[in-house]
Amino acid sequence: MAESDIRDERLKKLEKLREAGMEAYPADSHRDISIGDAIATFDELEASGKKLHIGGRIMSLRGQGGIVFADLFDGTGRLQIVLQKADMDESLYALFTECVDTGDFIEVFGIAFKTKRGEPSIKVEKWRMLAKALLPIPDEWFGLKDEEKRLRERAVDILQNEELRQMIIRKSRFWSACRTFFEKKGFMEVETPVLETSPGGAEARPFITHHNALDIDVYLRISAGELWQKRLLVAGFPKIFEIGRIFRNEGQSREHLQDYTQVEFYEAYSDYKNGMIQVQELYRHLAHEVYKKYTFTINGYEVDFAEEWKTIDFSESIKEHFGIDPINCTEKQAIDAAREAGVLSPKVEPNKERSIDSLWKHIRKTIAGPAFLVGVPIFLEPLAKRSSKNPEVVERFQVILAGSEVGKGFSELNDPIDQRKRFEDQQKLRDKGDEEAQRLDLDYVRTMEYGMPPAFGFGVSERLFAFLEDKPIHEVQIFPLLRPKAD
């Protein structure tokens, strides 16, 4: 039967319910126990003979004549209900058989008992509709098979796909474990602006929108409040973090999305060496708290978070693989090396910065990790502190997992003169057409001139969760963005 025909039939049943004096969408529910709790205490409930109100969605219907069996699901568990014509009002039983379908939300009143086969059940004395479903949910044994339909009708897929449902639960635990980790260490959670007059804190293309009240264009943030959180360091808060949504108007791939969740944290009187210890502890904490293990298969790599993490030097790695010094080579040498390796993007005008970065990303694909990348040239990081041992590199590290970057941190630049110079250098790159270069943010520089303590900062997105799940990142979003369906 076509979906439109099924809907028409259900509308007729809806009208029949109303004619019988039963609301199809009441505002209240008399439910006094969840199905999960009923299952957990079933023996006690059965022995007591106590009558219960239980509600949920009908996932299956079976039976004939004078008896009907149905499975109710309320998000906490699944329990069988049994309606027998002889045990309840005959007209109420008839209304159930004539008007109730799979997918409907109902409420039943009755006692706990076990069937002859020993199945925990509720013997129904009364029932009423809580929400009549006008569209049919797919058969549980088959579910939604078409990939696009699964993504477009995500709620139905979640309802029937237990693996997907458990993944969403793990994602909730992931961010909860992340929050608990920082709170136990004395960090304070903050919220910083999502709308900005100048996007900063990362190298990315922003989304632009218009603020009608102020009549100005604003940007959706491209980092989880990096420059704002560092303002809070100036304001005297020594340990802060934010878990929030960020937006980047860029390409989409297995590892990249345009809007996603990220955690960033900042600790005054710390540096990137202490940060490495803390980040390693964070990743191990998340792995154990959510998955109860430390070893994962990610993108075909075997990754063990419990083992000793390697440290890889950026410049030495480039020299070893491509024979050039990324710091002292000329722009032409960098571009030529990138062209020879076939790693230059046709969308970006080649320069030294992008060429060297592309060479490193080519190497990165071969590293299983977990590892820390250090020794990054200053021209690739405008917000990190220069190394006291080598002013041509910054005190920054990246976490490398399964051939990708999954987290970045550094000793924060707190010299306002140096910061302004690096912002100006980045602005020159923007003026030449590099849309990912950072903007000159004079307001932030002015705040820094009031004095910012030495500090460590770090950020990692939900890419880490996607890697632990070994899935493309759009599949671990609850409701991934899709193009509107064509008419």
Taking the domains of the chain in order of start, what are their residue ranges? Answer: 3-137, 159-309+369-476
pLDDT digits (tens, 9 = 90+) for 266-289: 999 999 999 999 999 999 999 999
Q: Are 450 and 264 in contact (CB under 8 A)?
A: no
Torsions phi, psi for 304 (to 5 deg): -120, 110
Res 69: pLDDT: 96
Res 144: pLDDT: 56
User: In the structure encoding, which two tokens stand for residue 119, read together?
Assistant: 């199945």
Res 153: pLDDT: 86
Res 145: pLDDT: 63
How many beta carbons lie within 10 A of that of residue 132, not counting itself?
22
For the question of whether the overall pTM of this predicted structure is more than 0.85, the answer is yes
Res 457: pLDDT: 95
User: In the structure encoding, which two tokens stand for residue 269, read together?
Assistant: 């009187």
- CA–CA dist 265, 243 (Å, integer): 9
Fold classification of 159-309+369-476 (topology level): BirA Bifunctional Protein; domain 2 (3.30.930)
383: Cα within 13 Å, side-chain hemisphere: 23
Run of H or E including 80 = strand 78-84
Asked if 3-137 and 159-309+369-476 have one fold, the answer is no
- CA–CA dist 199, 190 (Å, integer): 19
- CA–CA dist 316, 145 (Å, integer): 49
The dihedral region occupied by 118, where left means phi > 0, alpha psi between -120 and 50, and beta the remainder, is: left
As to burial, measured by CB atoms within 10 angstroms (0-12 exposed, 13-18 middle, 19+ buried), residue 349 is exposed
Low-confidence ranges of the chain (pLDDT < 70): 140-146, 201-202, 347-348, 435-437, 486-487
Q: Which CATH architecture has domain 3-137?
A: Beta Barrel (2.40)
Q: Which residue carries 């005297």 as its tokens?
A: 236
